[in-house]
Amino acid sequence: MDAGVEIADNRAIGIKCYNPEYTFVEKLQAIIRKFAQEQESKVINQNFLRQYYDVYELHGNQAVINFIGTEKYEAHKVRRFNTKELETPLSENAAFDFSDNGLLQIFKERFLQTKALYYNGQPTFEEIIGRIKSYLHRM
């Protein structure tokens, strides 16, 4: 302001920002919903696989790991997931299963096509699924 430049204060005061723990639950829900939509419609959603990467990265946050399975975690799942999504445990959900090697191969190839989006290197889709599966029994 001393330099005669007028600056607009555009801070998001009064707007609740999410923390990684709640974002994690929302990403899980996004994976389940987008997976089901894609399997039903057969229309490929280019940004869908990014959700797996986000969950993978959030699994690297100790606060998220500690949050999994807590009362707050379960309450947020109930708020975000619909009844049908809650009926199937995440460990049994097709979006995290990948026992169909054909589907896994398709997802691996699709994920590789997005490598330009990752400025700090891209893990393999197997690494992503491996990390997710290591916590799936708690989710």
92, part of any domain: yes
Average pLDDT over residues 54-79: 94
Structure tokens at 58: 């959030």
- Which residue range forms the structural domain that includes residue 75? 20-136
Question: Radius of gyration over alpha carbons of the chain, in Å?
Answer: 18
Whether residue 1 is predicted with pLDDT greater than 60 in this model: the reply is no
27, part of any domain: yes
Work out the burial of residue 132: count CB atoms within 10 Å of its CB; fewer than 13 is exposed, 13-18 middle, 19 or more buried.
buried
Q: Number of C-alpha atoms within 13 angstroms, CB side, residue 22?
A: 9
Residue pointed to by tokens 């399997």: 39
15, part of any domain: no
9, part of any domain: no
| pLDDT band per the 50, 70, 90 thresholds, residue 11 | low
How many domains does the chain fold into? Answer: 1
26, part of any domain: yes
| pLDDT band per the 50, 70, 90 thresholds, residue 5 | confident
86, part of any domain: yes
Question: What is the pTM (predicted TM-score) of this model?
Answer: 0.82
Mean of all residue pLDDT scores within the chain: 87
